[in-house]
A and B are shown apart, each in its own frame.
Chain A
C-alpha cells in the first residue's frame, strides 16, 4: 500500500492516458471540420492523407481527422458509462451474494452463471435489433447491463475473503450495522478489486462498441465513433488504409492502456 498508484505507472502509460483524456475532452474543439460535413463528394472522396487532410477523407469526403477527434468522445464516453453501469450492477450482485449466503447467494450466482453462458454479442444483437438503432446513452446502458457478470464474481470472491479477515470480523463483533459495514469497511477494502473490474469492463466495452458499429448496430451512423470510422472503409482495409489505421491504433492503445492500469492496480493490491 505504501507506493502511491501514480508512481507505479511508468511514463508511457501516463502520457497515453493524458493523450486519451485530452482527446475526449478537447476533441471537438480541435477538429478542423465538422465531423458530419461532406466537403466535396465529387472530388474529395477517398483522399489519402495529405497536408490538407492529415488523416485523409472517407467515401463521403468527410475529414477523417475530424471524425476521429469527435469520435473519441463517443467511443470513450460509451465505454466509460458502460463500465460504470457494469461496476454498479456487478458490485451490488457480488456484495449481495457474499453477504447473504444460503439460497439467495446460490440463486444470485447461478443467475450470474446463466447470463455468463449466454453469448454476449447475440444478446446485444437481439436487444439492438428489437429496438432499432440505440441512442448513445442507451447503447452504453445495454453494454453495461450485459457486462457486469465478471465483476460480480470477482466482488463476491473478494468479499468472501475479506469477511474472514480479522479486521472485518472485528468490525462485525463490535456491532457495526450492516450498511455501515458495507460503506465504511468492505467497499474501501474492495477498492483495488473494483478498480481492476472497472478497467476490465472498460477494456471489453471499447472493442465491443467498435464491433457492433462494424455490424451496423452500434453508434448510429452519422455520428462518428472509432468503430464507425473503421466500418466506413467497407472492408477494403488495404486500399483505404488511412480510414482504418488511426482508429484501430487508438482502440488498441486504449485497451492496452486499460489492461496495463488494471495489471498495476492488481499487483499493488497483492503487495499490500
Chain B
C-alpha cells in the first residue's frame, strides 16, 4: 500500500514537472511578448524597449530562461503580472478562494447528485422514470456549457428575478450570517451551471457501473445470505463507484475550463475571470501561473480520487 502510494506521488511529481515545461513552452511559442502594447509605441527607441525586455529577462537565451523559470516556480515565485502590476502569486491568491468555493460546491453538488441519481437509475434501469432520467442526462451532456449558463442568467436571474445576475455578494450588503446567505444566493446559479454537465456524466457512469455490478457474484452472494434490497444495493453501490471516481480526478481540469466561461458570464470574482483578462492582455506569466496552479490542483485531485478508488474496490489495491 505504501509503495503504491509512493509510486503515485512520483507519477504526480513527474506530471507536474511536465506541466511546468509545457507552460514554459506555450509562453515562448506564442508570438509577441507582454510589452507589445506599451513598448512597441512609436515614441520609444529600440534601446528603451530592449532595456525594458532585458529587465524582465526576455532577452536571455531560451534554455537559460527555462532554468530560471523552473527555479522561480520551485521557490513559489510565479513572476510579475504585467497587466495587474503585482506579483502573479498575489493576484492568484486574491482570487483563488472565490474559485475554490465555486468549484468545491459545484463538485460536491455534481457528484452527490450524479452518484445518487445514477445508482438509482442503474438499480431501477427498467422503470420508465429511470429511463427518462437517462435521456435527460444524455441531453444535458450535449448542451454547450456556456449556453446552460446563459440560459440560467436569462431565465431565473433576469426574467424572473429569483437570483442575482452576477457577482459574489451584494455591494454594501449584510455581514455575518446574513452575508453568508447572500453569498450562497449569488453562488446558486453559477454552481448549478458548472455542476449540471458533470452530474449528468457522473450519473451515466454510475448507472452503467451499477447495472454491471448488480449481476456480479458478490452481490448475488449477499442476496443469497438474505440481504434485503437496501443492503444488497449498498454492496453494489460501493463497488460501482470505480468508474465515477476515476472520472472525478480528470473532471477537475474540465471544471477549470468551465470556470473560465462561467465566471465570465456570472461576473464571479475568481481565478477564471482573472485568467481570461490575463489572456486578453497577453499577460503570459499570469496565465502560465494560473494554468500551473490549476494543473497542480488537478494532479492532487487525481491522487485523492486514486486513494478513494482503492477504498471503493479492494481489487485495485493489489493491482497498482
Number of residues in B with C-beta < 8 Å to the partner? 55
The residue from A110, A130, A211, A230 contacting B14, defined by CB atoms under 8 A apart:
A110
Instruction: Contact check, A118 vs B15: say whether CB atoms are below 8 A apart.
Output: no
| Interface pick from A21-29, A30-38, A64-72, A247-255 | A247-255
The residue from A120, A121, A248 contacting B147, defined by CB atoms under 8 A apart:
A248
Q: Is A9 an interface residue (CB 8 A)?
A: no
B15 surroundings in chain A (CB, below 8 A): 110, 113-114, 117
Per the bound structure, the CA–CA distance linking A236 and B158 in Å amounts to: 10
Chain A's closest residue to B282 (CB) is A129
Q: Is the interface of B mostly helix, strand, loop or mixed?
A: helix
| Interface pick from B50-58, B112-120, B288-296 | B288-296
Instruction: Contact check, B291 vs A114: say whether CB atoms are below 8 A apart.
Output: no
Q: Is A210 an interface residue (CB 8 A)?
A: yes
Give the interface of B toward A (CB within 8 A): 11, 14-16, 18-19, 22-23, 26-27, 29-32, 138-139, 141-147, 150-151, 153-155, 158-159, 250, 252-254, 256-258, 260-261, 264, 275-276, 279-280, 282, 284, 287-288, 290-291, 294-295, 298-299, 302
Besides A122-B287, A127-B30, A215-B264, 12 more A-B contacts (Cβ < 8 Å) are A110-B18, A121-B261, A122-B256, A122-B257, A122-B291, A207-B143, A207-B144, A210-B146, A211-B144, A235-B154, A255-B142, A256-B142
A-B contacts, 23 of them at CB < 8 A, read A106-B14, A113-B18, A114-B18, A117-B299, A118-B253, A119-B256, A119-B260, A119-B291, A126-B30, A127-B26, A127-B30, A130-B32, A130-B282, A207-B143, A211-B144, A215-B261, A235-B154, A238-B155, A248-B143, A252-B142, A252-B143, A255-B142, A256-B138
Give the interface of A toward B (CB within 8 A): 106, 110-111, 113-123, 125-127, 129-131, 203, 207, 210-211, 214-215, 227, 230, 235-238, 248, 251-253, 255-256, 259
